[in-house]
Amino acid sequence: MTPLRPVAHAAPSPDPALLGIHLLAGVGSGLLLALGVVALGQRGSRSYLLVVLALGALVARTLVSGLAMFGPLGPGVHHFAEHALDAMLATFLLGAVYYGRTTDSTSPTEDSR
């Protein structure tokens, strides 16, 4: 296995504070994703699935940032990936809100009364 080599845009030894922030972001977004998967398992609706996909994009964004910090990801790829993940996150959340608002929340038994 080849060792990772830093590239020109990445510092040879990342700042400890930056590492701590990335660790907190990764743990926090991972916990949110886990909670979202649990909620999806209980509800099973399309809007919950879209929220879980948005949370997955948030986790992926932290991973992309970490890879750029340690060097294997170039600045162009890092920049494009982060913008693409931001667009995915926004699209999934807007889809979840739209789908949640357009579906009928009343059950058939309530309509028959």
pLDDT digits (tens, 9 = 90+) for 68-90: 888 788 888 889 999 999 999 99
DSSP letters spanning 28-85:
HHHHHHHHHHHHHHHH--HHHHHHHHHHHHHHHHHHHHHHHHHSSS-HHHHHHHHHHH
Residue 63, domain extent: 16-102
Total of domains in the chain: 1
Cα-based torsion angle of the residue sequence 47, 48, 54, 60 in order, rounded to the nearest 10 degrees: -150
User: Is residue 46 one of the residues assigned to a domain?
Assistant: yes
pLDDT surpassing 50 at residue 92: yes
Q: CA–CA separation, 55 vs 71, rounded Å?
A: 25
- Residue of higher predicted confidence among 1 and 55: 55
Place of tokens 């932290």: 62
Task: Give the predicted TM-score (pTM) of the model.
Answer: 0.75
**Segment 4-61, tens digit of pLDDT:** 555 555 555 678 888 899 899 999 999 999 999 999 999 888 999 999 999 999 999 9
8 lies in some domain: no
What is the distance between the alpha carbons of residues 90 and 97, in angstroms, rounded to a whole number? 11
d(C-alpha 10, C-alpha 70), whole Å: 6
Question: Residue 4: its pLDDT value, please?
Answer: 58
Residue 75, domain member (yes or no): yes
Classify residue 109: in a domain, yes or no: no
60 belongs to a structural domain = yes
Domain assignment present for residue 9? The answer is no
Would you say residue 105 has pLDDT above 70?
A: no
* Cα–Cα distance measured from residue 30 to residue 113, given in angstroms and rounded to the nearest whole number: 44
pLDDT above 80: residue 109: no
Predicted pLDDT of residue 66: 87
Q: Tokens for 103?
A: 């579906």
At 59 the pLDDT is 95
